[in-house]
Amino acid sequence: MPITNTLDLETLSARMDAWASEETTKRGRLVRAFRKNLGNSPDLQAARLALLVGYAESPA
């Protein structure tokens, strides 16, 4: 399922899995916060997802 023109759900999920183990990076903390739904807010979750998509689309 395409999320954007250059990113699909499987790719995003695989990258999030890899990032979740990164203890000291912002994207690692962001993935863990997204998965735990910290704050229990749909607005926060949407913002986190938007940031994660941005990280996933940017070149390595």
Determine the Cα–Cα distance for residues 1 and 4; give it in Å rounded to an integer: 9
Report pLDDT for 58: 84
Asked, for residue 16, whether it belongs to a domain, the answer is: yes
pTM recorded for the entire structure: 0.84
Asked, for residue 2, whether it belongs to a domain, the answer is: no
Asked, for residue 14, whether it belongs to a domain, the answer is: yes
Asked, for residue 4, whether it belongs to a domain, the answer is: no
Asked, for residue 26, whether it belongs to a domain, the answer is: yes
Find the helix packing angle between 42-57 and 9-20, rounded to 10°: 100
pLDDT single digits (tens) 3-60? 677 788 999 999 999 999 999 999 999 999 999 999 999 999 999 999 999 999 887 6
Asked, for residue 37, whether it belongs to a domain, the answer is: yes
Determine the Cα–Cα distance for residues 52 and 50; give it in Å rounded to an integer: 5
Domain of residue 20 covers 9-57
Structural domains of the chain, count: 1
Asked, for residue 46, whether it belongs to a domain, the answer is: yes
Asked, for residue 1, whether it belongs to a domain, the answer is: no
